[in-house]
Amino acid sequence: MKNKVKLANYVDKLPPVIHSRLEKVRKESKHWHPIWTSDTSYEKFEVHGYLANHVVDLGKHLCTCQFRMLTGIPCVHACAALARVNKNPEDFCHKLVTMESYRETYRHHINPIPGQTFWEVSESLKP
């Protein structure tokens, strides 16, 4: 309920927790170097790092590290590639972690109930 009130005036696309998580990933992504594979849609990258390389396909929202499958936000490698093509990582988050579905969760209200002294006495046997 408190969350519902707090979020009523919140305009960001991602909930605060997800937002800061993504910010952290975005910072880390600066240590990775995306190399475009020359595909026509400008979506496939080989992303080189200190110990490993990964393959990112922005079109399919896939990376060989599979991080996004678990968390719903782009991994460091995808963020590196997205920075390269000037796209916003927020647009590459799964729908489930966006404010849209968060709002959907809090859309329904809970019916208020008076204290027990005001409850109607039932004629049925007590359990």
User: Which stretches of the chain bind Zn ion, using CB under 5 A?
Assistant: 54, 63, 65, 75, 77
The distance of closest approach from Cβ of residue 38 to Zn ion in the complex, given in angstroms and rounded to an integer, is: 20
Q: Which is nearer to Zn ion, 22 or 63 (CB)?
A: 63
Question: β-strands 53-57, 62-63: how paired?
Answer: antiparallel
- Going by C-alpha positions, the residue among 114, 96, 113 that lies closest to residue 105 is 96
Strand partners, 47: 34, 54
Neighbour tally for 124: CB within 10 Å: 6
Nearest to Zn ion of 68, 102 (CB atom): 68
Nearer to Zn ion, 14 or 75 (CB): 75
Least separation in angstroms between CB 53 and Zn ion:
10
